[in-house]
């Protein structure tokens, strides 16, 4: 029998021990059928004569082919493309005052977790770098049962009510008649829907921002989105919003880069996560909470139950309460990453729901979807899903049941089984829902407190730096530029004027359109979600005008870090080994990695006569896969002048605002970038030195890389 409440120090390994039971290893073993019969020939089917027909009797062939025919399960209807890892969660300080959830009470417990990141719209094989929301699902294997925090990398959502979710997803998925485009929102049906759903405008600002194209899954925030409840031992409730803050900072790529990465390496994020963990660079996030007393439920300019609104950190600060570390890659993608089943309804005593109408709908959906995806109500028995807490109930049978319940009793109450399994009192850890008082009429309506669709969209937009605003403008111009139906674009421009007029004018210019004149009521032309006239959008005066925490660029890490960044070294035979080594060592000390790129794989011979091992050739390497570039000195480097890949590499690095450094002859190669001389001289993102193995250059380059990108360059491009 499992006993989860043992030695606390060991608890972080409890899930791994649990998974061990199901692992198999074929090392030094015979090949067998599924029935354990040893196979003598795995190459030829059984035939009537060596050139004759195959025989039905061949149970080995039939078993093999039948299994193969059924190897795929339906992919997730949303969040199909994902990558996951194991790790643990560690609490900094007890939250006992607010919640009785034991994993949030006892700082000595390390709770095992399994975390899956995903894109939303694309299918399982689609690109990682799609402009999209990222899923951020955490399964905590707590001693009181599984708790799933199934969130996203953006703190709000497109819609307010679960009733609209299938419509939203149908609109964003590839269009039904020709199944195009894959993993992209830049098409008519998505923007048709959005243009008729003013409540989506806040989320649209987030999705059109660089948050939708993260540099790495390890460099994005996570949010629980809905308001949840913490319940303490005295049955008192506090509202709570969950945040994950990445220890490597929040960083993005630029859109042109994202599109190119999709071609060069569509597994970019998956590979980055895998390699970081494999190489011992364990990604970490801190768990933050915003806690709001029950008494303050109606204190804000927005409704806490509305998932299109966030609680600005200026109004309720985020308290960091613990840390999550991902330290182990899965052993098997299908068994773990594909079969893991998350559910916002998997809660433990001390955590409860609110009446957010989107959350309420989710509470139904996630079990239901596993029934078709995993095929049976026994999906909780799949190793990755099973709790490490003791589990006993009278649920029986069903497809693929693994457990063998003993005894004659499968009902409650019973006397034949001694009343077992018995109910737990609250003090024994039994779950009891928060007894919120509800006295209401049954209505199919939305609260008027949900009607301000624009104020937080505006708050988000005005809180961004000019660079970030420019990126939002370009993203909207790109997406709407792909829309073919003029009336959809026009409706979108109408909605956008409610967020920011200058932004709208710039997008309209790019689309070659006028900003619609009649913008007082631009909303839905009588065909939208609120065509009943029940929900006229309103504007509520906001208590704050800007919120710096909404901007990635205004909230850099302090101190900055370049840990795990990949820096391309453009090399060739005759490169100066001193120049390479100096920069490589300096970067290594700062936690970054130098990747040696040369015209061919194998080794190159340095000016000094030493050999340098090449990591990638110019045929394979591409600027978009790196965070910065260094061109070392040495006479041989001048041969790079003739390589078109090198010119392309540097030109892309420049266009994507990356920091570029060069030493000695390397500086000459950097001049290959197509741009006006005077601009380059003023470009502080290009760092050059005449000296070899220049310590100052290395220091300056590392310092600069801490800013991630040299955005000032964008004005000159
Ligand atoms: Fe989900 N969502 N969702 N969702 N969601 C699923 O469950 C659904 C929503 C989120 O890594 C599905 O197991 C409805 C918000 C993540 O396995 C499905 C509604 C947020 C994942 C489902 C929402 C999310 C899912 C598909 C509106 C952020 C991936 C496969 C009422 C807080 C989990 C599955 C993983 C997956 C339904 C809205 C996050 C169909 C009906 C809001 C991260 O059950």
Which atom of ligand 1 is nearest the CA belonging to 368? 44
Distance (Å, rounded) from C-alpha 98 to C-alpha 140?
Answer: 19
The pLDDT tens digits of the residues spanning 95-135 come to 999 999 999 999 999 999 999 999 999 999 999 999 999 99
Lowest mean pLDDT segment, chosen from 173-187, 424-438, 441-455, 509-523: 509-523
Residue whose pair of structure tokens reads 């390479």 in the numeric block: 580
Atom of ligand 1 nearest to the CA of 157: 42
Query: Is 491 marked as a binding-site residue?
Result: no
Residue 2 reports pLDDT greater than 50: no
Which of 76, 78, 220 gets mutated to test ligand 1 (max ligand atoms within 8 A of its CB)?
A: 78
489 annotated among ligand-binding-site residues: no
CA-wise closest residue to 384 among 115, 645, 203, 161:
115
Residues of the domain holding 22: 8-69
- Would you say residue 362 has pLDDT above 80? yes
Q: Which band of pLDDT confidence, cut at 50, 70 and 90, is reported for residue 525?
A: very low
Query: Among 381, 397, 423, where does a domain finish?
Result: 381
State the Rg of the chain over Cα: 28
pTM above threshold 0.90: yes
Asked if 273 and 325 sit in the same domain, the reply is: yes
Q: What is the DSSP letter of 592?
A: -
- 47 and 127 share one domain: no
Nearest to 156 by CA among 206, 90, 117, 98: 206
Q: Is-contact 90 110, C-beta < 8 A?
A: yes
**Boundary of a domain, candidates 46, 69, 92:** 69
Question: Do 52 and 114 belong to one domain?
Answer: no
pLDDT of residue 521: 56
86/231 same-domain check: yes
List Cβ neighbours of 492 (8 Å cut-off, separation of 6 or more): 191, 194, 195, 476, 480, 483
Residues 6+ apart with CB under 8 A from 114: 15, 84, 85, 86, 87, 138, 139, 141, 336, 340, 384
Measure the CA–CA gap between 706 and 218, rounded to whole angstroms.
Answer: 16
Provide the percentage of residues in the chain whose pLDDT is more than 70: 95
CB-based pocket (< 6 A), ligand 1:
76-79, 82, 116, 118, 135, 137, 150-152, 157, 162, 165, 225, 307, 340-342, 358, 361-362, 365-366, 369
Q: In the structure, what pLDDT confidence band is assigned to residue 3 with cuts at 50, 70 and 90? A: very low
Task: Tell me what percent of the chain is helix, strand and coil, each rounded to the nearest 5.
Answer: 30, 15, 50
What pLDDT, on the 0 to 100 scale, is given for residue 391? 96
Q: State whether 32 and 141 are in the same domain.
A: no
- H or E element in which residue 628 lies: strand 628-631
Report the alpha-carbon distance of residue 460 to residue 540 in Å, rounded: 15
Return all residues near 625 (Cβ < 8 A) that are at least 6 apart: 261, 264, 265, 268, 566
Q: Is 328 annotated as a binding residue?
A: no
Average pLDDT, the chain: 95
Q: Is 373 annotated as a binding residue?
A: yes
Looking at the predicted structure, is the pLDDT value of residue 181 above 90? yes
| 61 Cα–ligand 1 center, Å | 39
ipTM: 0.99
Q: In percent, how much of the chain has pLDDT > 90? A: 92
* Rounded mean pLDDT, 15-24: 96
- Is 182 part of any domain? yes
On whether the CB atoms of residues 633 and 579 are closer than 8 A, the answer is yes
pLDDT tens per residue across span 556-588: 999 999 999 999 999 999 999 999 999 999 999
Amino acid 526: pLDDT? 43
Residue 680 reports pLDDT greater than 60:
no
Number of domains in the chain: 3
């939002």: which residue's tokens? 472
Distance 120 CA to ligand 1 centre (A): 9
Residues 13 and 65 in one domain: yes
Looking at residue 717, its pLDDT comes to: 83
User: With bands split at pLDDT 50, 70 and 90, how would you rate the model's confidence at 531?
Assistant: low
Query: Rounded to whole angstroms, how far apart are CA atoms 157 and 141?
Result: 27
Cα 358 to ligand 1 centroid, rounded to whole Å: 11
The CA-based dihedral angle spanning residues 414, 419, 424, 425, taken in that order and rounded to the nearest 10 degrees = 90
> Which of 597, 602, 601 lies closest to 575, judged by CA?
597
Q: Report the atom number in ligand 1 closest to the C-alpha of 358.
A: 31
HSE-up of 696 (CA within 13 Å, CB side)?
A: 5
The residue contributing the CA closest to ligand 1 atom 32 is 151
What is the SS3 string spanning 273-334? Answer: HHHHHHCCCCCEEEEEEEEEEHHHCCCCCCCCCCCCCCCCCCCCCCEEEEEEEEEECCCCHH
Q: Residue 183 above 70 pLDDT?
A: yes
Q: Are 127 and 26 members of one domain?
A: no
Q: What is the CATH classification number for the domain harbouring 589?
A: 3.40.50.880
Q: Quick one: pLDDT at residue 677?
A: 60
Average pLDDT over residues 309-331: 98
Q: At what angle do helices 486-497 and 466-481 cross, to 10 degrees?
A: 160
Query: Has residue 646 been placed in a domain?
Result: yes
Question: Would you call the peptide bond into 421 cis, given omega within 30 degrees of 0 as the criterion?
Answer: yes
The answer to whether residue 20 sits within a structural domain is yes
Rounded Cα distance between 704 and 475, Å, is 26
Could you give the angle at which helices 486-497 and 188-195 cross, rounded to 10 degrees?
A: 40
Which SS3 state, helix, strand or coil, does residue 269 take?
A: helix
- 643 falls within a domain: yes
**Ligand 1 nearest atom to the CA of residue 361, by list position:** 31
List residues with catalytic annotation: 79, 152
Note whether residue 48 is domain-resident. yes
Average pLDDT score over residue span 523-547 = 69
Same domain, 47 and 118: no
How far, in Å, from the CA of 78 to the mean position of ligand 1?
A: 7
110 and 151 together in one domain: yes
Cα distance between residue 329 and residue 276, in whole Å: 10
**What is the CA(149)–ligand 1 centre distance, in A?**
11
333 and 230 belong to one structural domain? yes
Residues forming a β-bridge with 243:
223, 288
Please classify residue 580 by burial: count the beta carbons closer than 10 Å to its beta carbon, then call 0-12 exposed, 13-18 middle and 19+ buried.
Answer: buried
Q: For residues 445 and 350, give the distance between their C-alpha atoms in angstroms, rounded to a whole number.
A: 30
The CATH number of the domain holding residue 108 is 2.40.180.10
Q: What does the alpha-carbon distance between residue 507 and residue 497 come to, in Å, rounded to a whole number?
A: 10
- pLDDT bin (cut points 50, 70, 90) of residue 172 is very high
Regarding whether 348 and 231 lie in a shared domain, the answer is yes
Give, using CA atoms, the residue closest to atom 25 of ligand 1. Answer: 79
Report yes or no on 245 lying in a domain.
yes
Is 229 flagged in the annotation as binding? no
Alpha helices in 512-576 (DSSP H): none
Please tell me the residue having the least CA distance from ligand 1 atom 24: 151
Q: Which residue has tokens 């790529």?
A: 253
Categorize the per-residue pLDDT at 152 as very low, low, confident or very high, splitting at 50, 70 and 90.
Answer: very high
The token pair that represents 534 in the structure block: 């029940």
Q: How far is the CA of 381 from the centre of ligand 1 (A)?
A: 21
| Residue range 582-617, pLDDT digits in tens | 999 999 999 999 999 999 999 999 999 999 999 999
Q: How many residues does the chain have?
A: 717
Secondary structure of 362-380 in the HEC alphabet? HHHHHHHHHHHHCCCCCHH
CATH number for 22 = 4.10.91.20
Domain boundary among 381, 398, 416: 381
Q: CB–CB of 120/133 below 8 Å?
A: yes
Name the residue with the closest Cα to ligand 1, atom 41: 362
Residue 474 falls within a domain, yes or no? no
Q: Is residue 219 part of a domain?
A: yes
Work out which ligand 1 atom sits closest to the CA atom of 135.
43
**Residue 528 pLDDT exceeds 50:** no
- 682 pLDDT exceeds 90? no
Which tokens in the block code for residue 573? Answer: 């035979």
Residue nearest to atom 20 of ligand 1 (CA): 151
CA angle, residues 613, 615, 617, in degrees to nearest 5: 110
- Nearest CA residue ID for atom 43, ligand 1: 135
Q: Is 239 helix (H, G, I), strand (E, B) or coil?
A: strand
Q: Is 165 annotated as a binding residue?
A: yes
Does one domain contain both 57 and 105? no
């Amino acid at each position: 029998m499992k006993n989860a409440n043992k030695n606390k120090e060991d608890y972080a390994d409890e899930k791994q021990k649990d998974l061990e039971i199901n692992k198999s290893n074929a090392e030094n073993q015979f090949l067998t059928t599924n029935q354990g019969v040893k196979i003598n020939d795995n190459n030829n089917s059984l035939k009537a004569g060596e050139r004759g027909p195959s025989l039905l009797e061949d149970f080995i062939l039939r078993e093999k082919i039948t299994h193969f025919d059924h190897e795929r399960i339906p992919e997730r209807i949303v969040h199909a493309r994902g990558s996951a890892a194991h790790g643990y969660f560690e609490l900094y300080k007890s939250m006992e005052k607010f919640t009785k959830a034991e994993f949030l009470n006892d700082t000595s417990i390390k709770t095992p977790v399994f975390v899956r990141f995903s894109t939303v719209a694309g299918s399982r094989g689609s690109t990682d770098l799609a402009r999209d929301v990222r899923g951020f699902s955490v399964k905590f294997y707590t001693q009181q049962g599984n708790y799933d925090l199934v969130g996203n990398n953006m703190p709000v959502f497109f819609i307010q009510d679960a009733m609209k979710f299938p419509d939203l997803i149908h609109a964003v998925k590839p269009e039904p008649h020709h199944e195009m485009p894959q993993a992209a929102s830049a098409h008519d049906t998505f923007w048709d829907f959005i243009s008729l759903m003013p409540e989506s405008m806040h989320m649209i600002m987030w999705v059109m921002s660089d948050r939708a194209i993260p540099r790495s899954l390890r460099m994005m925030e996570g949010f629980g989105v809905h308001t949840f409840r913490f319940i303490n031992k005295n049955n008192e409730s506090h509202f709570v919003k969950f945040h994950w803050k990445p220890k490597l900072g929040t960083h993005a790529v630029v859109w042109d880069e994202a599109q190119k990465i999709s071609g060069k390496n569509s597994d970019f994020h998956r590979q980055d996560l895998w390699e970081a963990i494999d190489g011992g660079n364990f990604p970490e996030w801190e768990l933050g909470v915003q806690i709001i007393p029950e008494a303050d439920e109606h204190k804000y300019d927005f409704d806490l139950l509305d998932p299109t609104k966030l609680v600005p950190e200026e109004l309720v600060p985020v308290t960091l309460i613990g840390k999550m570390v991902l330290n182990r890659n899965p052993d098997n993608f299908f068994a773990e990453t594909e079969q893991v089943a998350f559910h916002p309804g998997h809660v433990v005593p001390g955590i409860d729901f609110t009446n957010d109408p989107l959350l309420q709908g989710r509470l139904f959906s996630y079990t239901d979807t596993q029934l078709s995806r995993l095929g049976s109500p026994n999906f909780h028995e799949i190793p990755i899903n099973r709790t490490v807490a003791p589990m006993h109930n009278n649920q029986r049978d069903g497809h693929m049941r693994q457990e063998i319940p003993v005894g004659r009793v499968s009902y409650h109450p019973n006397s034949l089984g001694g009343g077992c399994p018995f109910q737990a009192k609250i003090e024994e850890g039994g779950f009891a829902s928060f007894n919120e008082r509800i006295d209401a009429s049954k209505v199919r309506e939305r609260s008027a407190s949900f009607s301000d669709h624009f104020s937080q969209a505006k708050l988000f937009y005005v809180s961004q730096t000019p660079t970030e605003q420019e990126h939002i403008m370009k993203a909207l111009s790109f997406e709407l530029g792909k829309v073919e139906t003029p009336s959809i674009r026009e409706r979108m421009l109408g909605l956008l004027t409610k967020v920011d007029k200058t932004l709208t004018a710039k997008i309209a210019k790019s689309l070659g359109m006028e900003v619609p004149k009649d913008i007082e009521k631009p909303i839905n032309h009588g065909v939208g979600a609120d065509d009943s006239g029940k929900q006229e959008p309103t504007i509520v005066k906001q208590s704050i005008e800007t919120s710096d925490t909404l901007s990635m660029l205004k909230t850099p890490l302090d101190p900055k870090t370049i840990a795990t960044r990949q820096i391309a070294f453009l090399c060739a035979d005759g490169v100066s080994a001193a120049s390479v080594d100096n920069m490589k060592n300096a970067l290594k000390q700062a936690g970054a990695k130098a990747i040696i790129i040369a015209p061919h794989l194998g080794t190159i011979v340095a000016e000094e006569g030493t050999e340098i091992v090449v990591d990638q050739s110019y045929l394979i390497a591409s600027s978009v896969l790196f965070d910065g570039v260094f061109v070392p000195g040495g006479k041989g480097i001048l041969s790079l002048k003739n390589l078109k890949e090198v010119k392309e590499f540097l030109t892309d690095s420049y266009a994507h605002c990356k920091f570029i450094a060069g030493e000695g002859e390397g500086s000459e190669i950097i001049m290959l970038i197509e741009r006006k001389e005077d601009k380059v001289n003023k470009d502080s993102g290009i760092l050059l030195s005449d000296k070899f193995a220049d310590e100052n250059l290395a220091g300056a380059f590392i310092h600069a890389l801490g800013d991630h990108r040299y955005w000032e360059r964008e004005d000159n491009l």
